[in-house]
Structure 1
Amino acid sequence: MAKKIIFTGGGSAGHVTPNLALIARLKKDWAVTYIGSKSGIERELVEGQGIPYKAISSGKLRRYFDVKNFKDPFKVAAGVLQAYAIIHRIKPDLIFSKGGFVSVPVVIAGWLNRVPIYIHESDITPGLANKIAIRFASKLFVTFEEAGAHLPKDKVVHTGAPIRERLFEGRADKGLQFLGFQTGKPVLLIMGGSLGAKKINEVVHEALPELLKTYQVVHLCGKGNVVPELENEQGYRQFEYVNQELPDVMAAAAIILSRAGSNAIFEFLALKKPMILVPLPLRASRGDQILNARSFKQKGYCEVLDNDALTEAQLIETLNRLYRDRYDYIDRMAAAKHATSGLQNILDWIQRA
């Protein structure tokens, strides 16, 4: 009889895609179920893969004052009861959580059902959801080795990042064909995360005439951020989001401009793509992307630009320098430990459960 595993995590693509990487390998031998929110991005991504999906109530956990803070604890409590019933019925051998607010009631319900719980933390310091969930976990897998200094030593295992295997199957020629780009001119890939990045988008649009002299530009600008006036710009393609074609698009890219979400930058590292990172500023985050970018900069994998100080001239100069020195970055990335082994490391732990 196949073992059973429940996955949880959501709120952003970064809390879902690592789970999907693991599920792709496990679903042949394990009975997989996913518990997520009723309307989060995880539902669309998971159901699109044909994975059984159970929706529960989920409240957001905030570090700041909001009138919703008075209502959301009741949503979390309802989510715990709903998750408890699902887990009690399925009786899984293991629960794997990637974080995000929806994971908290699932982890608590799993602990109440006495199911072993594995958590993966992508960043150097844990988010609020994982801070709560850690106390209920059996094991805590981390992407960054530095993360161990902030977490319980008896639970931490440095595995690296679970990279989606399909990214390694990308073909540059198919990417160029999909984009309608020519060979012989470098491709600049711009990614702001699943929700886009307002500041990056604005500066890229300002710099576009100059950028197109040197690069062909593919711009993943986020939902609702496509600019109709630029649809027919020669050498420029914009999309809200790319899914099936992403491996080919990434294979075609010579260099990348991106936010500094952990999952994304470790994918760039594994694919040996020189990158410029523009982390979210403190006013818009807990500072996790700043720490991620600083770690990669210290290791020589990237260049880092400040979001608030970002200018057209600075962006162009840094991109040109990165492209000029790209092979130096590629050599350093080729020697990176745990760049491509995170998926197998985590699978080995799951198989032993």
Structure 2
Amino acid sequence: MKKKIRIVLTGGHAGTTALATIEELLRRTDKFEWEIYWIGPDKALEGSRIPSLESKVFPKLGVFFHPIIAGRLQRNFTIWTIPSLMKVPIAFFHAVYHIFKIKPKVILSFGGYASLPIVIIGFLYRIPIVVHEQTAAAGLANRMSALFAKKIALARRSSLDFFPNIKTVVVGNPVLSQVLEVSPKKNISSPPVLFVTGGSRGSSRINKTLDKILESILEVFVVIHLTGENDFEYFSERKKHLAPNINSRYEVRDFVDPMQIDNIYRMSDIIIGRSGANTISEINIVGRPAVLIPISWVQHNEQLKNAKILEKSGLALIIEEKDMNPDKLFKKILFCLKSWKDMANKGDADISNLDKKASEKLVDIVLEILKK
């Protein structure tokens, strides 16, 4: 009879990184029967009613989802700043409740404000902690969590400066097996397909910029637009008023199940998006030319650092948020179209090879911790 192991995964917005790791855990059932729990926010954004990706997708894989009420230190004062601060002590009581109830054998944290209370309480319960840092820098929550971790797994070597070498190892950034199966494109589609995404939550800034040049883009491209739930209604209505000759070229989606994102990558020729760790890993592997617009306010400017990896390889162009306008975005898209043959499949091979094995290496670390 297989031994049942309870594992808690936690994070603020780990998304497909955690999902790829869950996939690998479910493949490793030769010795253990995994009972997987996810503890994290049930809403995509502070003050939002939009469900988090994890709350929508993880239960479909048999993962027990437990929401946590967690607050964060916000860089800009908003109407949600004080309520968010008031949630900080609540998060620790909530963490005690979850950890005491679940009694996991190990905790795997992917960072983010919601993960820190789980890590600290887990440490106090003497549960071994593994931390995975996804970015090219290091998030504040993970730098603090590192104090309590048995092992720290990094996606990029550039993060080594932020963590103690004695318990740190570079494993790469886990990528979904479906994405790994997407073949390189040798020829561009006719008409070419443009995939516009702001991630699972969408990007209002990208959406607003695209809105002003949408008709011009649709004269050239078929567009798959992942708007996020906030802007979905507006762009759905916008589609209804497009001229018949371009209306059929425009597909609007509020959300794409990560387990099906590979189908969109297969269709896509050019991608517009942010440059979070997961986005960079996936674009690098599928080899589609991209226009990247890094979020400017993230810590250590980590999204710009992520984007520069693909700019250096020749796979992507960068528009910094402060410089973005409709004209510049349109010109960058057309440049990718004109230079498609030169840019396609020019990702960073070393990072691609690292990421392809990342979920295996991360689960190996978890299994090694469990042996001790």
**What is the TM-score normalised by the length of structure 2?**
0.83
Is residue 291 from structure 1 mapped to residue 305 from structure 2 by the alignment?
yes
Is residue 3 from structure 1 mapped to residue 21 from structure 2 by the alignment?
no
Kept in 2, the 8 Å contact 1:163–1:267? The answer is yes
Offset, 1:140: 1.4
**AA of the residue aligned to 2:321:** N
Q: Distance in 2 between matches of 1:63 and 1:202?
A: 23
Is residue 314 from structure 1 mapped to residue 328 from structure 2 by the alignment?
yes
Kept in 2, the 8 Å contact 1:171–1:247? The answer is no
Counterpart mapping for 1:300-339 below 5 A: 300-333=314-347, 335-337=349-351, 338-339=354-355
Is residue 62 from structure 1 mapped to residue 104 from structure 2 by the alignment?
no
Counterpart mapping for 1:205-216 below 5 A: 205-216=211-222
Counterpart mapping for 1:243-282 below 5 A: 243=257, 244-282=259-297
Q: Distance in 2 between matches of 1:64 and 1:49?
A: 36
Offset, 1:334: 6.3
**AA of the residue aligned to 1:34:** W
In structure 2, the partner of 1:178 is none
Is residue 237 from structure 1 mapped to residue 239 from structure 2 by the alignment?
no
Check 1:138–1:217 CA distance in 2 against 1; reply closer, same or farther (3 A cut).
Answer: same
**For each residue in 1:290-324, what CA deviation from the matched residue of structure 2 results, as whole angstroms up to 9, or x when unmatched?**
22223332333311002232222222221122233
In structure 1, the partner of 2:145 is 133
Check 1:331–1:54 CA distance in 2 against 1; reply closer, same or farther (3 A cut).
Answer: closer
Check 1:123–1:219 CA distance in 2 against 1; reply closer, same or farther (3 A cut).
Answer: same
Kept in 1, the 8 Å contact 2:143–2:163? The answer is no
Is residue 26 from structure 1 mapped to residue 25 from structure 2 by the alignment?
yes
Check 1:201–1:20 CA distance in 2 against 1; reply closer, same or farther (3 A cut).
Answer: same
Offset, 1:142: 1.4
Offset, 1:286: 5.6
Secondary structure, counterpart of 2:230 in structure 1: coil
Q: Distance in 1 between matches of 2:105 and 2:342?
A: 46
**AA of the residue aligned to 1:281:** S
Check 1:171–1:304 CA distance in 2 against 1; reply closer, same or farther (3 A cut).
Answer: closer
- Residue 197 of structure 2: which of 191, 197, 202 is its match? 191
Offset, 1:331: 4.4
Structure 2, unpaired ranges of 5+: 45-51
Is residue 341 from structure 1 mapped to residue 364 from structure 2 by the alignment?
no
In structure 1, the partner of 2:167 is 155
Is residue 75 from structure 1 mapped to residue 90 from structure 2 by the alignment?
yes
Kept in 1, the 8 Å contact 2:134–2:156? The answer is yes
**For each residue in 1:80-107, what CA deviation from the matched residue of structure 2 results, as whole angstroms up to 9, or x when unmatched?**
32233134xx3x3321111122211111
Kept in 2, the 8 Å contact 1:139–1:155? The answer is yes
Secondary structure, counterpart of 1:125 in structure 2: coil
Kept in 2, the 8 Å contact 1:83–1:105? The answer is no
The structure 1 segments of at least 4 consecutive aligned residues displaced by more than 6 Å after TM superposition are none
Offset, 1:116: 1.5
In structure 1, the partner of 2:47 is none
Kept in 1, the 8 Å contact 2:310–2:347? The answer is no
**AA of the residue aligned to 1:161:** N
Identity of aligned residues (%): 25
Q: Distance in 1 between matches of 2:6 and 2:85?
A: 36
**AA of the residue aligned to 2:346:** R
Is residue 201 from structure 1 mapped to residue 210 from structure 2 by the alignment?
no
Q: Distance in 2 between matches of 1:103 and 1:349?
A: 19
Check 1:197–1:285 CA distance in 2 against 1; reply closer, same or farther (3 A cut).
Answer: farther
Offset, 1:69: 5.8
Kept in 2, the 8 Å contact 1:61–1:129? The answer is no
Q: Distance in 1 between matches of 2:83 and 2:207?
A: 31
Structure 1, unpaired ranges of 5+: 173-182
Check 1:108–1:168 CA distance in 2 against 1; reply closer, same or farther (3 A cut).
Answer: same
**How large is the Cα RMSD of the aligned pairs?**
2.5
- Residue 104 of structure 1: which of 116, 119, 122 is its match? 116
Secondary structure, counterpart of 1:346 in structure 2: helix
In structure 2, the partner of 1:175 is none
